[in-house]
Structure 1
Amino acid sequence: MSALRRAGLILFSLWAWSGGFAWMLVGATITLLMLVVGLPYQRVHLWVTAPMFVHVVRVFSAARVRVHYHPGFDPEQRSVFLQNHVNLLDGHLASAAIPHAFSGLMNAWQFHIPIYGWLMRLSKGIGVRRTGRERIIIELSEAARERKRIGMSVLTFPEGHRTIDGKVHAFRRGVFLMARNADMPVVPVAAHGFFEVNRKGSFLIHPWRRVDVLVGPQFPTTGLSDAEVGELASRMQELVAYAVEHGRWPESLPSEVSTVPAVTSEARSRPT
């Protein structure tokens, strides 16, 4: 990379990060005001939070986002979404693909991050505390049931950590146990090309990169044994890994998908 090009990337990245955080602060303020006057978060998410998150990716990061829905995907069914973990903008990208209100599963310490953490609290994010494994699963399952009850889905990153090589690594079983216990299906979500926009260990944002988000069908979890949950986790990891590498689902799933631009506020007018 030439010195001139790198200097340009640094300047663009400074603008993208500072502008993105300022934009999120505006979003957090508007979200809080709308909640104070009594509007339900599910609607505030569709009207304000999600569109502003998508704006960070499409405008400040200048990513060319396309969302591809599998024909078997039911946009009305509340689910646990399983997305590959790439960078700090993963949740923003998910806002372009999940067509209804959702909360994110994250480490509890992230609630203390200025602006971002405030938004996560307002959006009913689910914090993972450092407690015993069995207790964690119980707490997460209860939280997921509550989100389902109020009409929200849950976004998860089953790898647990951002990738450092662009590949999709093993999925942890915890989120699948949570989904089963909450009687929620799981949905594989693959972000193809997002590693080229930004990656762990670098603050550089590469503009004008194409990003394809593939949203798969719902896979039921009801009644699965612990062993079957493990098999499902492996299957979902294989699907997402294939889609991230190839930009399409494997032949084991129908190849036909419907393609739409990243969701805008108009496209999110469906009530929740």
Structure 2
Amino acid sequence: MRGIAWLLVHACYRVRRRRTGLIPAQGPALLVANHVSFLDAVLVALASPRPVRFVMYYRIFQAPLLSWFFKALGAIPIAGAKEDAAIHEAAFARIAAALRAGELVCIFPEGQLTKDGQMTPFRPGVLRILRETPVPVVPVAVRGAWGSIFTYCRDLRARTWPRRLWRRLEVVVGHTLPPTATLEEMQARVLGLRGAKL
């Protein structure tokens, strides 16, 4: 799976990974990252020295031709509580089980891809995860992906292939936060890592 992911990413981007040694070498942790492109999970997975379980929207998880890949990666499908309560609750149970088993779990707390390149407020689901299973929080930022082919950018200047493919981007890891961190603290840390480079 990592080989396929590596080929997919490097066919589109030139990626630099920074401070990945801050990801715990063992034990559970929750990675929180900004959500810029459809390849964010793959980018974070390749930056991590350990396997990562990703929490993803269930409709994407069920997409034809891709579901086998997401299942192979151990992704955890999630839905909104009002959309499908059963999938919603099952997701939190699976996240807790993975963390108790000492795994890394990554969530994109914005809950959706950015439509304008800016970060949207983190949703409280991440607090429920930490309340039920207190683990270290590792902030991660994807930098430079906005405007590439796998984002929602509609800027005419970014539509040319040379601008949308082979872009230079970075996956930056920050220092660990405690499980008592607030949404604002987590978002501020990720925003600081991302900086001005969208």
TM-score band w.r.t. shorter chain: 0.7 to 0.9
Among candidates 1, 4, 8, match of residue 56 of structure 1: 8
Q: 1:192-246, CA deviations, whole angstroms, 9 ceiling, x for partnerless residues?
A: 101132321669662232111111122221xx4xxxx5xx211111121222224
Which amino acid counterpart does residue 136 of structure 2 have in structure 1? Answer: P
Larger displacement relative to structure 2 (174-183 or 184-193): 174-183
Report what 1:93 is aligned to: 43
Does the CA-based 8 Å contact 1:167-1:241 persist in structure 2?
A: no
How far apart are 1:124 and its partner, in Å? Answer: 2.4
> Against the structure 1 CA distance between its residues 122 and 201, is the aligned structure 2 distance closer, same or farther, given a 3 Å change threshold?
same
Report what 1:233 is aligned to: 183
Report what 1:77 is aligned to: 27
Among candidates 152, 177, 182, match of residue 133 of structure 2: 182
Residue 189 of structure 1 aligns to a residue whose secondary structure is strand
Between Structure 1 and Structure 2, which shows a larger proportion of helix residues? 1
How far apart are 1:175 and its partner, in Å? Answer: 1.8
Residue 190 of structure 1 aligns to a residue whose secondary structure is strand
How far apart are 1:171 and its partner, in Å? Answer: 0.7
Does the CA-based 8 Å contact 1:190-1:241 persist in structure 2?
A: yes
Question: With structure 1 as the length reference, what TM-score do the two structures score?
Answer: 0.61
Does the CA-based 8 Å contact 1:101-1:151 persist in structure 2?
A: no
Residue 154 of structure 1 aligns to a residue whose secondary structure is strand
Is 2:112 the partner of 1:154? no
Between Structure 1 and Structure 2, which shows a larger proportion of strand residues? 2
Does the CA-based 8 Å contact 1:71-1:217 persist in structure 2?
A: no
Identity of aligned residues (%): 26
Report what 2:168 is aligned to: 210
Which amino acid counterpart does residue 18 of structure 2 have in structure 1? Answer: H
Where structure 1 has 5 or more consecutive residues not aligned to the other structure, the ranges are 1-48, 248-272
Does the CA-based 8 Å contact 2:78-2:88 persist in structure 1?
A: no
Paired with 1:151 and 1:77, the residues of 2 have a C-alpha distance of 5
Paired with 2:23 and 2:68, the residues of 1 have a C-alpha distance of 31
Paired with 2:87 and 2:184, the residues of 1 have a C-alpha distance of 21
Residue 188 of structure 1 aligns to a residue whose secondary structure is strand
Q: 1:2-58, CA deviations, whole angstroms, 9 ceiling, x for partnerless residues?
A: xxxxxxxxxxxxxxxxxxxxxxxxxxxxxxxxxxxxxxxxxxxxxxx1232122111
How far apart are 1:82 and its partner, in Å? Answer: 0.9
Residue 183 of structure 1 aligns to a residue whose secondary structure is coil
C-alpha RMSD over aligned residues: 2.7
Paired with 2:64 and 2:78, the residues of 1 have a C-alpha distance of 18
Trace 1:160-179 onto structure 2 (pairs within 5 A).
160-179=111-130
Greater RCO (CA < 8 Å, at least 6 residues apart)? 2
Trace 1:1-272 onto structure 2 (pairs within 5 A).
49-58=1-10, 60-61=11-12, 63-69=13-19, 72-132=22-82, 138-198=89-149, 199-200=151-152, 206-221=164-179, 224=180, 232-246=182-196
